[in-house]
Amino acid sequence: MRRDVFQAIADPTRRAIILLIAFQSMTPNAIAEHFDTSRQAVSKHLRILTECNLVKQEQSGREIYYQLNGTKMKEVDKWLEQFRKIWEGRFNELDNILSNLKNKKK
């Protein structure tokens, strides 16, 4: 079953994992040390993130390192950009209204 990227980032633990590996590649054990859950639970989260192509695996000897897939994160950012523009426009309108009200009081 192919998961949706937004289902993957909806979980706070998976978002925390993304933040961790955004700075450096990490093994599942190193990632698990940052959470109060089992190594198996972290592995499940990593599997979901991998299925959604948010993270990539890299084999180095006997260890597997997980790293962020920046390309997929750019897709998420691009989708969010449309909402960012809407909210920036609304905040600018609110600033104008508040500025006008402040000027009228003077």
Strand ranges (E), the chain = 55-60, 63-68
Average of per-residue pLDDT across 78-95: 90
Distance (Å, rounded) from C-alpha 31 to C-alpha 37?
Answer: 11
Q: 50 and 77: one domain?
A: no
Q: Which two tokens stand for residue 40?
A: 């198996």
Number of CB atoms found within 10 A of residue 45's CB: 24
For residue 4, the model assigns a pLDDT of 83
Average of per-residue pLDDT across 12-34: 95
For residue 11, the model assigns a pLDDT of 94
For residue 51, the model assigns a pLDDT of 92
Q: Which two tokens stand for residue 82?
A: 């449309």
Q: 55 and 77: one domain?
A: no
Q: 54 and 105: one domain?
A: no
For residue 2, the model assigns a pLDDT of 65
| Domains in the chain, number | 2
Q: 52 and 6: one domain?
A: yes
Segments forming the whole domain that contains residue 30: 1-68
